[in-house]
Amino acid sequence: MAKTTSHDVRDLALAPDGVRRIMWADRQMPVLTAIRERFEAEKPLAGYRVAACLHVTTETANLMRTLKAGGADVVLCASNPLSTQDDVAAALVDEFDIPVFAIKGEDNDTYYAHIQAAVDHKPQLTMDDGADVIGVLHSSRREQLGDIIAGMEETTTGVIRLKAMEADGALAFPVIAVNEARTKHLFDNRYGTGQSTIDGIIRATNVLLAGRKFVVAGYGWTGRGVAMRARGMGAHVIVTEVDPMRALEALMDGYEVLPMGLAAGIGDIFCTATGDKHVIAREHLEAMKDGAIVCNTGHFNVEIDIPALRELAVETREARTFVEEFKLADGRRIFLLAEGRLVNISAAEGHPALVMDMSFANQALATEYAVANASSLENKVYPVPFDIDEEIARLKLETMGVAIDRLTDEQSTYLATWNEGT
């Protein structure tokens, strides 16, 4: 029987499966576990209400447990309608007494009603993956803005939006850009998204990647992870970019670089990873080969022009779970995965726990930092403090059993001089 009465999840009977999987993930999250044990003793978040809007996965469950161990009163809703793991949502309510509002496949109205329910919790701290709670607070719930001491933001797209709000003078409280920590984006965005995106594509389609033309749009942190792993599976990878520096990097990393206008007619599998809109536009869809598979791993489902695809189609059907077939007038078929939403979290389980350990260690420590420093923070987007980032890297290596060298005194002196060693 659920202890918290406040929740909206698929089925509490799923809780035992969720608990098993949360504990499995926990084994891969030793840095977060160490933080949880310290939080348990020190209670740095005692008395603070937190509204978290994150993908409801096993790793997120372990972050919620950590915040609660630190004394926070936490509520969780989903940051994407398709990413919720219903057994995890049930377990958080039933086993860990944490209110959750999230059901996999919820419609848009329910999705936003669940964010409102999290805001009803009267948070003093927010934790977003895509700035949805912050968006709601700054639009329909402005009367609560004064209660918030700080927010945390997990992903690139959210940080871009928050920086735009800061530039407009619209941001009403300080936000810590967890995505900007090197122990976050260098690993989560690259290796986490790289592996789990390929996992999502394969789980949805069972397609062979070897020998196929795999088009990755965007060569940022996520795009390079996807490209790297697709190449590892034997695909011929083509990268599209708008930034000359990143296009050059892709080229010298050994990929073919083309504009989407040319790649569209060549590719077998397309994956967008840009955070931008209509990267695969109508004219690109019109040029695609019969059987092309298109998907997205960027934050919002706007990277592929799905309305145009619907207009172009004379017939649609579900070909497999998470695969929608669009038949065009000339008989060609295009397959869209996971409604164009984050394919790695919709059709697979999202990032492996070992990498989320670092992302969520940043979330937990950034929350502690925000509480401790609330009075000195302005209404700006802040990076995670350098020493927190470094400490997470150090701990991660230690928990992976990897030792590194330390600078000797002689080397420290040498590196700090300008006139020695010629």
The DSSP code for 280 is: B
Stretch that binds ligand NAD, among 94-102, 237-245, 388-396, 405-413 (CB under 6 A): 237-245
Report the b/e string of 103-119 with b at 16+ CB within 10 A: bbebeeebbbebbebbb
Structure tokens at 33: 């576990």
The correct pick among 59, 241, 305, 339 for binding ligand NAD (CB under 6 A) is 241
Strand, coil or helix: 134: helix
**Positions in 129-168 near ligand NAD (CB under 6 A):** 155-157
Site for ligand NAD in 297-326 (CB under 6 A): 297-299
Name which of residues 95 to 134 contact ligand NAD (CB under 6 A).
none
CB burial of 181-201 (b: ≥16 within 10 Å; e: otherwise) equals bbbbbebbbbbbbbbbbbbbb
Of 22-30, 234-242, 365-373, 407-415, which segment contacts ligand NAD by CB under 6 A?
234-242
Residue 200 C-beta: closest distance to ligand NAD, Å: 9
Least separation in angstroms between residue 372's CB and ligand NAD is 27
Stretch near ligand NAD under the rule CB under 6 A, chosen from 10-18, 58-66, 295-303, 387-395: 295-303
- Written as one string, the DSSP assignment of 6-40 is --B-S-GGGHHHHHHHHHHHHHT-HHHHHHHHHHH
CB of 78 to ligand NAD, least distance (A): 14
Task: Figure out which of the listed residues 275, 292, 347, 362 binds ligand NAD, where binding follows CB under 6 A.
Answer: 275
Q: How many residues bind ligand NAD (CB under 6 A)?
A: 29
In the list 222, 301, 346, 363, the residue contacting ligand NAD (rule: CB under 6 A) is 222
Read off the tokens for 149. 């001491």
112's tokens: 């936003």
Q: Does residue 267 bind ligand NAD (CB under 6 A)? A: no
Whole-number Cα distances in Å, 377 to 175, 366, 371, 386, 388: 9, 13, 10, 16, 17
**By CB under 6 A, residue 218 contacts ligand NAD:** yes
> What distances in angstroms separate CA 250 from CA 237, 254, 398, one per listed residue?
10, 7, 32
Q: Please, what is the minimum distance in Å from the beta carbon of residue 391 to ligand NAD?
A: 22
| DSSP structural state of residue 57 | S
Give the nearest distance from C-beta 344 to ligand NAD in angstroms: 5
* Measured CA distances, 204 to 196, 207, 343, 362, 388 (Å): 12, 8, 9, 31, 38
In the list 276, 286, 325, 398, the residue contacting ligand NAD (rule: CB under 6 A) is 276
Contacts of ligand NAD in 18-77 (CB under 6 A): none
Sheet with 313-320: strands ordered across: 256-257, 236-240, 213-217, 269-272, 292-296, 333-337, 323-328, 313-320
Q: Return the range that interacts with ligand NAD (CB under 6 A); candidates 119-127, 142-150, 217-225, 324-332.
A: 217-225
Angle at 279 between CA 278 and CA 283, to 5 degrees: 75
Smallest gap from Cβ 309 to ligand NAD, in A, equals: 17
The residue ranges that bind ligand NAD (CB under 6 A) are 155-157, 185, 189, 193, 217-223, 240-243, 246, 273-276, 279, 297-299, 342, 344-345
